[in-house]
């Protein structure tokens, strides 16, 4: 089974802290590391580790970070031959604060990810045509996500969306293109326009199905 992942590639700067700093506050961290990331790249990496045949469509800068990210993906068998390496844009970066219980806060600099355009998808249409599943997230331009989902559905592919970072008022014509949408609890609240309540989980998930999504998985 072949999988096309269309999405972001970023270098993550991760710090570990007991509590997130407030405005104007400085806090010490208990640990720090730099890691390969980006929601699209993370999905492709996991698929490669599991033995899947994944191709990543995305963009990085023509810099050392971009090279490291692509090398990391290639090390688990992800096809990165179609990834753009841009001279006039930096590789995307994410600054992540992680608390002891595992909750995190993320600040994202899109960089080259902003250049993953519908035209780029059109130039790589053969990747979608050769794939069985097309996987998307929301760290690239929304117009690209919608175009890719509509194109993949027209080609008869299974389409999966991880709606992160969540966007309120997603285009209504996107939902019928999705075979699976996978929000977490916070993202579900943003998508439905009301705060997440455990007792209302089924009702809120069904509201997404009513928009045309085939399956909803809330994490």
Run means of pLDDT, 10 residues per run, the chain, 219 residues? 96 88 84 90 96 97 95 97 97 90 84 97 98 97 98 98 93 97 95 91 95 96
Phi and psi torsions of 119, nearest 5°:
-65, -40
Classify residue 65 as exposed, middle or buried by CB count within 10 Å of its CB (0-12, 13-18, 19+): buried
Instruction: Name the β-bridge partners of 96.
Output: 14, 106
What's residue 139's pLDDT? Answer: 93
Phi and psi torsions of 31, nearest 5°:
-170, 165
């Amino acid at each position: 089974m072949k999988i096309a992942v269309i999405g972001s590639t970023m270098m993550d700067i991760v710090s570990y802290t007991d509590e997130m700093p407030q405005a104007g506050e400085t806090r010490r961290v208990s640990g720090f590391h730099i890691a390969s990331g980006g929601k699209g790249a993370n999905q492709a990496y996991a698929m490669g580790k599991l033995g899947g045949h994944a191709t990543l469509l995305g963009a990085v800068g023509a810099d050392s970070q971009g090279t490291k990210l692509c090398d990391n993906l290639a090390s688990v068998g992800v096809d990165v031959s179609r990834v753009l390496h841009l001279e006039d844009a930096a590789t995307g970066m994410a600054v992540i604060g992680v608390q002891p219980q595992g909750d995190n806060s993320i600040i994202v600099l899109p960089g080259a990810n902003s250049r993953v355009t519908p035209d780029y998808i059109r130039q790589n249409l053969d990747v979608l045509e050769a794939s069985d599943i097309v996987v998307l997230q929301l760290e690239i331009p929304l117009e690209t996500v919608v175009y890719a989902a509509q194109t993949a559905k027209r080609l008869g592919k299974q389409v999966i969306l991880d709606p992160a970072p969540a966007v309120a008022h997603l285009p209504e014509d996107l939902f019928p293109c999705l075979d699976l949408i996978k929000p977490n609890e916070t993202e579900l609240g943003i998508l439905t326009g009301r705060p997440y309540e455990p007792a209302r989980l089924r009702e809120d998930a069904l509201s997404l199905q009513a928009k045309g999504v085939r399956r909803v998985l809330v994490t």
